[in-house]
Amino acid sequence: MKHIAIVLVLFVLLALPTTVQADVAPPEQPPGANPGPGSTGTQVRMQSESVLIDVQAVAPAKSLGRALVTADFDMFNTGSQAESMDVRFPISGNDGFSNYPEISDLQVSVNGSAVSSRRTTGKDPFGYDDTVPWAAFAVTFPAGQVTQIRVTYTLEASGLSPYIWFYYIFSTGAGWQGSIGSAELTVRLPYAANEQNVIRNQTAENSPTKAGGTILGNEIHWSYNDFEPTKADNFIIELVQPSVWQTVLKDQAAVEQNLKDGEAWGMLGKQYKQIFISPKRRGFRTYHIATDSGAQALYALSRQAYEQAVTLKPDDPLWHAGYADLLGYYANFAKEEGIDTSTDAVAALSQIRQALALAPADATVRQIADEMTFYFPDGMKANDDSYDYPWLTATPTLLPTEISVSTLNATPTQAVIEAATPTILEPTKAVSQQTAATPAQNAGQTSRKPFLPICGSALLLLPLGALFWRNLRT
């Protein structure tokens, strides 16, 4: 009856319409941008620019995140005559669904004095054919002199929680004379930046974040010199949503206050996991964990925290189940990239077996257990109201890792990843060779993987539990 119920639920999920978005692009907020000249053939050059995207710690309830942008431009008139024109700045864009949100709080100053702007229209900075609202403000550029322009505004984040991104469009400044002499762009976070909360330096398929950024404290810096901006130069950065990362920091602080608090360790492990694995993305936080050192560190840190939770609270079935969820998800999907996850798979089965022993009737535990049977059909089998574990002949011994407070905020180097990963002893060999093959023996075989996320609509094919219990205590 249990299998029939699962099939029926899956049928309903596949048959009914859903509002869940995965690979489908979310609505985009208007980007920040360079100002453009109001006339062609100008002799005014953008000699230098400095842009600060200051990500705010707090945002309104319906906002994914906000940043205050300050953009300073030194404009040099290379000609022999003064030029007066309306400098233009985009304030809106097509969000991809034919809506036109606008940036807010636009303020402009020229040589330190505030100037007013008026509303006009121009091309969509995202490259659509639409005509969208722009702001225009009058500026006179004396011959042979530098005129300083400052533009400030509030920028809304685009994204799918727990991830957000901010844009900055350099190409709108291509109409000025010659190349842009130099540009400095800084993204400032309300906490220390690292590769766990800034998704960067991945391939374009993994993350759209502009390559080349340098992390220093709570800032990430990009520098450009003598370039003619095209669409290829336009900027985007992808971040963990500030409210989500601040929850991580809060849970880290709770652990720091009491390293023997198993509940605090469990909550920390859960937060790391929810960043590492997102139901709204395809599998891991990026498409390929093998090239994402930040995701690797998040997995190691989540595993470390769960290990402490189940060590300190060995009789709590939900932390065992949550740990199994982490291990099993990783073992199932990381192996698609050629990673040997056999040890993780065995550890996942060990944890879910312990959870079932403690709470055999708990709905959440059984839901995760059913998911394990889909991940590892040769390693765990459902028999009416019980389960068999062909891969387990003895419960693997999980050795707790010594924890230092400094590890919690460590930069995800390979050394940190290795230090954060708990040691797992190999299970004893099978007494009888009649049992099913181990994960390692099955590495080259095709196993049943009905829930591998492949494309946007395929999010519906994630394990049944992923859409229901990822926000629970596990």
Average confidence (pLDDT) over 257-280:
90
SS3 167: strand
Is 397 within a domain? yes
249 shares a domain with 236: no
- Give the residue with greater pLDDT, 229 vs 439: 229
- Rounded Cα gap, residues 467 and 346, in angstroms: 24
159 shares a domain with 235: yes
pLDDT score of 468 more than 60: no
Give residue 294's Cα distance to chain centre: 10
Residues 6+ apart with CB under 8 A from 253: none
Is 474 within a domain? no
- Rounded Cα gap, residues 98 and 32, in angstroms: 19
Is 447 within a domain? yes
Q: 98: left (phi > 0), else alpha (psi -120 to 50), else beta?
A: left
Which residue(s) pair with 220 in the sheet?
Answer: 187, 215
The interaxial angle of helices 293-312 and 262-276, nearest 10 deg, is 150
Q: How many domains does the chain have?
A: 2
Which of the four pLDDT bands, split at 50, 70 and 90, describes residue 9? very low
Which of the four pLDDT bands, split at 50, 70 and 90, describes residue 290? confident
pLDDT score of 45 more than 90: yes
Average confidence (pLDDT) over 88-109:
92
Q: Which amino acid is at 309?
A: A
Is 472 within a domain? no
155 shares a domain with 287: no
pTM of the complete model beyond 0.85: no
Question: Which structure tokens are listed for 140?
Answer: 């006179």
% residues pLDDT > 70 (the chain): 75
Is 326 within a domain? yes
Domain boundary at 186, 211, 240, which? 240
62 shares a domain with 200: yes
CB 39 within 8 A of CB 140: no
- Rounded Cα gap, residues 183 and 224, in angstroms: 5
280 shares a domain with 230: no
Is 26 within a domain? no
Q: pLDDT of 371-394, one tens digit each?
A: 999 999 999 999 888 999 999 964
Domain boundary at 240, 261, 284, which? 240
Q: Which CATH number does the domain housing residue 176 bear?
A: 2.60.40.3680
Length of the chain in residues, anyone? 474
Question: Which structure tokens are listed for 87?
Answer: 């400098």
Domain boundary at 181, 206, 240, which? 240
285 shares a domain with 258: yes
Would you state the pLDDT for residue 208? 72
263 shares a domain with 230: no
Give residue 357's Cα distance to chain centre: 35
The interaxial angle of helices 317-334 and 363-375, nearest 10 deg, is 20
Average confidence (pLDDT) over 12-38:
63
Q: pLDDT of 147-161, one tens digit each?
A: 999 999 999 999 888
293 shares a domain with 209: no
Residue 298 is part of which domain span?
Answer: 2-21+242-467
CB 93 within 8 A of CB 132: yes
Q: pLDDT of 397-415, one tens digit each?
A: 444 444 444 444 444 334 4
The interaxial angle of helices 342-358 and 363-375, nearest 10 deg, is 150
